[in-house]
Amino acid sequence: MSVQIPTGAERLIQCLEREGVEYIFGLSGGAAMPLFDALVDSNIKLIMVRHEQGASHMADGYARATGKPGVVLVTSGPGATNTVTGLLTALMDSVPMIVLCGQTISPMLGKDAFQEADVTGITYPVVKHSYLVKRAEEIPLVAREAFHIASSGRPGPVLIDLPKDVTQGPCDAPFVDDVELPGYTVPNRADPEDISAAAELLKASKRPLLYVGHGAVISGAGKAIVSLAERLRAPMVNTLLGKGATDETHPLHLGMLGMHGTAYANKAVVDCDLIMSIGARWDDRITGKLDEFCVDAVKIHVDVDPAEFNKMVPLDLAILGDARLVVEDLLPQIEPADSEAWLAQCEDWRQRYPLKYPKQGGLRAQHVLDRLNDLTRGKAVITTDVGQHQMWAAQFCLSTSNRNWISSGGAGTMGFGFPAAIGAQFGQPEKEVWAVCGDGGFQMTQAELATAQNHKLPVKCLIINNNYLGMVRQWQELFYDNRYSGVDLEGNPDFVKLAQAFGVQAWRIKRPADVDRVLALAHEYDEGPCVVVAEVVKEDNVFPMIPAGAAVKDMLIEKPKAPMQKPTGST
């Protein structure tokens, strides 16, 4: 009996099975055909998409919802370049992802072969690591290394470029379990001296603040952080991506901080005497003007990536380690701080400066999202696109559990929300999943309605339709003297009819009185995807706001009467 030697493609798919891969999101083409062929005989489910960018965000949403790496499979050249935005999005937000790209046969590399692109070259700046596989026997090792690198330490995307002769040729190289990467170490427990030093600083503080980021979500540090807040008697704030690590409805929680954070969170940032980042990287959306950021406060930073230390702000103490382990090790040394006056002050701010929006004058996005929050009560997974709707969703949809909030933060990628929700729904079939999208961003990846419909996936998409690139329009209104340029989305389709054209159920919300009824319809609908289009007032602004580059203390609670200077900050 002759034993059939597997092809490189078959071996790779076997490796993915060993890694526990359930889904591959992809779109085929010549150079990827051996890989797609090998999938026919695999238990891994192929989710065929309409555009490779969609596949990359689906894998991203799957990864954020489950903690497991999402896998993408595309063909060479344009197929691969279409994933670049997805790679950037995943890299900026530390999301584990594997992108498998078909490539021309290796003898043709560098000869401008049909659909050849130097994909490893193009993607160097947007991957955590990458491989160009030159020999089939490297496949098991490369696959194991790629999964290890993508999902450990600070996670990120890993790209594997696979010439067609490599995937087509024989490969009987044995599977690999252990990898040896002398240049790659994964921090784990922190130095006990750093833990004690942190305990001392926290004890001495009278106005401590815990600043929780995506690292806390990734390491599952939430429970430990809440214990820390309760034991120390310290308020918590979270970043856009830190949402969900800790329960935003907890009495010690002040919600999101930063550019569009709550006023009380930002006031706490201005007045704290100690700020401890737990897996948050002092992004410019958080710090505003650096020279004025928490100048007199003690700064502690817990991170698994030492390159983040002292990058943006000078630290008093850097603790290298996994966020959960660090906080767990810290807990036994924590005593209550002398912080009751501080907590009372924060509570007073919460009462005095609540998030609010006008109840009159037409349908408001905030109202719709407030009601969505009431309906889902933190139980649903909410993904967002990028823009005003994202910020309002962050403000009004309070996250109560880990991995229930998925948004493109670092890259701010429009077109992310809907495919990310599809990926999240595949990863969490039992959960209700809502994508909150703007009319602009939704159109960037709307073709994935077909993907959702093919799988009768019960994902729900709420389109906040203001007929504008709203966030940019807001900046033009506030800082560019109302000179609108390239923000009017005139020519938008009728989104209800658009969804229907894909066979997708859809409803429209026109008036405030429709909101609860229509959201409930969507909530109950489980026969497949559905779309809710909220036709909201066109010109509304997100507040509070710290203009880019301004100091946190100069936060605007509402639109100032006088015209404003153009922001000096990054974007």
Ligand X SMILES: Cc1ncc(C[n+]2csc(CCOP(=O)(O)OP(=O)(O)O)c2C)c(N)n1
β-pairing verdict for 97-103 and 70-74? parallel
Interface with another protein (CB under 8 A), residue from 117, 141, 149, 160: 149
In this complex, which beta carbon is closest to another protein, that of residue 311 or of residue 456?
311
By CB under 8 A, tell whether 128 contacts another protein: yes
Instruction: Write each residue from 166 to 185 as x if it is in contact with another protein (CB under 8 A), else as -, in one continuous string.
Output: ---------------xxxxx
DSSP-derived letter for residue 184 is -
Is 543 considered catalytic here? no
Among 153, 470, 529, 544, binds Mg ion (CB under 5 A): 470
Kind plus residue range of the DSSP H or E element containing 200 = helix 192-204
CA-CA distance, 86 to 414, in Å (whole number)? 11
Q: Binding residue for ligand X (CB under 6 A) from 468, 475, 495, 502?
A: 468
Ranges within 402-461 binding ligand X (CB under 6 A):
412-415, 438-441
Subset of residues 407 to 446 that bind Mg ion, contact rule: CB under 5 A: 438-440
Nearer to another protein, 184 or 479 (CB): 184
Count the residues of the shown chain that bind ligand X, applying the rule CB under 6 A: 20
Active-site residue, selected from the candidate residues 10, 14, 36, 52: 52
CB of 357 to Mg ion, least distance (A): 17
Among 393, 426, 439, residue whose Cα is nearest residue 536: 439
User: Least distance in Å: CB of 43 to ligand X?
Assistant: 35
- 397 makes contact with ligand X (CB under 6 A): no
430 catalytic, yes or no? no
Name the residue nearer to ligand X (CB basis): 158 or 469. 469
DSSP 539: S
Looking at beta carbons only, is 90 or 469 nearer to another protein? 90
Give the DSSP H/E element, type plus range, for residue 78: helix 78-81
471 is a catalytic site residue: yes
Q: Tokens 């698994």 appear where?
A: 304
Spatial CA neighbour of 212 closest among 451, 405, 465, 493: 405
- 52 counts as catalytic: yes
94 and 60 Cβ atoms separated by less than 8 Å: no
Which candidate in 276, 471, 545, 555 is catalytic? 471
In sequence order, which ranges of 428-514 are alpha helices (DSSP H)?
Answer: 439-442, 449-454, 470-479, 495-501
Taking a C-beta distance cutoff of 8 angstroms, is the pair 69, 24 a contact? no
Q: Which residue type sits at 174?
A: P
**CA 343, CA 57: separation in Å to the nearest integer?**
40
Active-site choice (45, 114, 340, 456): 114
| Annotation says 115 is catalytic | yes
* CA nearest neighbour of 509 among 527, 540, 536: 536
Of 290-349, binders to another protein (CB under 8 A) are 305-307, 309-311, 318, 320
Residue in 68, 128, 164, 243 annotated catalytic: 164
Give me the sign of the Cα torsion angle 327, 305, 312, 314: positive
State the chain's maximal CA–CA distance in angstroms: 86
Nearest approach, Cβ of 521 to Mg ion (angstroms)? Answer: 23
Query: Out of ligand X, Mg ion, another protein, none, which partner does residue 413 contact, by CB within 5 to 8 A per kind?
Result: ligand X
Burial class (CB in 10 A: 0-12, 13-18, 19+), 223: middle
CA–CA separation, 103 vs 99, rounded Å? 12
User: Residue 469 interacts with ligand X (CB under 6 A)?
Assistant: yes
Binding site for another protein (CB under 8 A): 120-121, 124-125, 128-130, 132, 134, 149, 181-185, 187, 191, 305-307, 309-311, 318, 320
Binding site for ligand X (CB under 6 A): 385-389, 412-415, 438-441, 464, 466, 468-472
Catalytic residues: 52, 114-115, 164, 471
